[in-house]
Amino acid sequence: MKISAVAAERRPTLHFLRGIRAISPVFLDTDVDMTAVVRHRETQHKYSVVSYVLHSAARVLAAHPEANAAMSGLLRPRVARYASVNGKFTLDRTLNGQRIVLSTVLTDLQRASLDEIQRRVEHFRDGDPAEMPEFAGARLLQRLPGPVGGLLFRMGTRPLNRRADVMGTFAVTSLGHRPVDGFYSVGGTTITLGVGRIADRPVARGTEVAVAPLMRLSLTFDHRVIDGAEAADVLADLKQTLEDFPTEERA
């Protein structure tokens, strides 16, 4: 047996996990028929599944302002509802030889085209986290002693007037590149979407059985902010938006 200290590169993840303990998560899921998205990708190979989910979820949350929100405080809880829909997504990266999860926030997604979202996703996916200025805060947290880094993290993420920019108003995390059908994550936001793999499965088409590319989509919601009916509406609308994705992208 070998016992060692937690790698410094994982300190930001530990600060994040301590910070989300106040959330009251509830978990939903559904299967999404991705036929329309798959057909769109056949002619536009440059788009990732995460980009489609970010694009669609931003438009759904713009129509559900109660869910595009955050809460702070225990004795005197307050809720902030944001005009901008900002999506946080996670990245599986290696830094200093250590495999870690990094996250970043894409702002104003309710107005962003699929092309713009893909460009922004690629910027973070292809960049070097050891050099990118967007990850300077994470690198600082890695260097600081645990208690100091934890205090700095709380100071930077707890204020409601900064939360949308540093944590996003919703989060997307994907394990669809692996043989994972579904999983349930808490992303520190009122709505967190978990994206599984797309796999051909039998589906009912009227009285016939067909095969279609299905994707398990999970939704974790913070019960302090919204109730199950609102969360179910968000998930249902997102399912419909992805299933009805047009051959030519909407503005």
Please tell me the total number of residues recorded for the chain in this structure: 251
Distances (CA, A) of 82 to 13, 43, 68, 234: 25, 35, 6, 16
For the chain, the distance separating the N- and C-terminal CA atoms, rounded to the nearest angstrom, is 56
Of the candidates 61, 84, 67, 78, the residue with the CA atom closest to the CA atom of residue 158? 78
Give the burial string for 121-145 (b: 16+ CB within 10 Å, else e): beebeebebeeeeebeebbebbebe
Q: What does DSSP say about strands 78-81 and 69-72: parallel, antiparallel, or unpaired?
A: antiparallel
What are 209's two structure tokens?
């059985």
Q: What percent of the chain has pLDDT over 90?
A: 86
What per-residue string of b and e applies to 184-204 under the rule 16 or more CB within 10 Å gives b? ebbbbbbbbbbbbbbeeeeee
Residue 250 has what pLDDT? 47
Gap between the Cα atoms of 245 and 8, Å rounded: 42
pLDDT of residue 248: 61
User: What's the average model confidence in pLDDT over 129-143?
Assistant: 94
pTM of the model: 0.93
pLDDT surpasses 50 at 209: yes
Q: Is 1 a residue whose pLDDT tops 50?
A: yes
Q: Which of 28-32, 59-63, 153-157, 229-233 has the lowest mean pLDDT?
A: 153-157
pLDDT of residue 87: 98
| Per-residue pLDDT at 251 exceeds 50 | no
